[in-house]
Amino acid sequence: MKRPVTILLTALAPVSWGTTYAVTTQFLPPDRPLFTGLMRALPAGLVLLAATRVLPRGIWWAKAAVLGALNIGAFFPLLFVSAYRLPGGMAAVVGSVGPLFVVGLSALLLGQRPAARTLVAGVVAAFGVSLVVLKGAGALDVIGVLAAVASTASMAAGTVLTKRWGRPDGVGPLVLTGWQLTAGGLLIAPVAFLVEGAPPALDGRAAGGYLYLALANTALAYWLWFRGIGRLSATQVGFLGPLSPLTAAVVGWAALGQALTPLQVAGMALAFGATLAGQLGTGRRPAFSSTEQTAPKDSMDLTGRALRR
């Protein structure tokens, strides 16, 4: 498959995640962020496990648990904590620096040295997102800021480690997605019940919202995301992250009647341009670095398959 098509398909993941806020506020019970995270992850993971019927073997039990914790189990709760404690779009602004986290971790773990224009594109993307989502000034909550930074770092680390470890020989991205969603959901479950108590009563509207989050917003979106990680550089995938807050802004304008100012439109153009620059800036680099070529056999097998597809 040609690289632009792969980029577009991978971009559907953060675009889908950008609808989460609207679905949560319009369809789901209020003040149940951990339960919502649980309902996004665990049912989707179990469905994928039942469909693929493949379980981890050997060291991959530990790897799947680590990736599930970083990409799902830690990321979801930290993201919701930051969203509830920070004013306006500050959590989204902190999250928009994710490409810079990915660039740094790729240099550390994958041996990929970032180009200057890649760093500039990351800064411009974060600045553009800030123009779109950052509202009036307010006192910043230290715990909220730390949670936002930690959630961003967790997702970035999960993206880079997914790239570094690859997949076991013969295992596709759908199987890997099921492993991670199940592991992450099992990690969230006891915390959700301990903090929030018994699950709330659900009407048809809420059930439909959770069904959308579990299937389209999570199972399908994360499959596209992990599939993209296998075929693109970690930096390219990371630069698609700002599409999530941009989509949230567009959905708020189109579906929720939230006005967009000229400054916000300019910020969207900046962030989208930086996202494109992030793809062009890394598009000619090998999908797997020299560091990965000395990795265990399962990663090397994936390298061969990814380059042939």
Position 207 pLDDT exceeds 90: yes
pLDDT score for 161: 95
Which tokens belong to 255? 């579906």
pLDDT tens by residue, 236-288:
888 898 888 888 878 878 877 777 788 878 888 888 888 888 777 554 444 33
pLDDT score for 87: 52
Which residue do the tokens 């715990």 mark? Answer: 143
pLDDT score for 3: 82
The full length of the chain comes to 309
Mean pLDDT to the nearest integer, 80-98: 68
Backbone φ and ψ of 112, nearest 5°: -95, 115
Q: In this structure, are residues 245 and 18 in contact, taking their beta carbons and an 8 Å threshold?
A: yes
pLDDT score for 30: 83
Mean pLDDT to the nearest integer, 209-225: 94
211 vs 205: CA distance, rounded Å: 10
130 vs 190: CA distance, rounded Å: 34
Mean pLDDT to the nearest integer, 226-242: 89
pLDDT tens by residue, 108-141:
888 888 778 888 888 888 888 778 766 654 556 7
In this prediction, residue 86 has a pLDDT band, given cuts at 50, 70 and 90, of low
Which tokens belong to 176? 């890997």
Position 89 pLDDT exceeds 60: no
pLDDT score for 271: 82
| pTM, two decimal places | 0.80
pLDDT tens by residue, 38-72:
999 999 999 999 999 999 999 999 999 999 999 99
pLDDT score for 307: 28
Half-sphere exposure of 93 (CA within 13 A, CB side): 17
Q: Mind spelling out the 3-state secondary structure of 186-238?
A: HHHHHHHHHHHCCCCCCCHHHHHHHHHHHHHHHHHHHHHHHHHHHHCCHHHHH
In this prediction, residue 289 has a pLDDT band, given cuts at 50, 70 and 90, of very low
155 vs 117: CA distance, rounded Å: 23
The angle formed by the CA atoms of residues 123, 151 and 27, to the nearest 5 degrees, is: 105
pLDDT score for 140: 63
Mean pLDDT of the chain: 81
pLDDT score for 135: 63
More confident: 221 or 1: 221
pLDDT score for 111: 84
What percent of the chain clears pLDDT 70, i.e. is strictly above it? 84
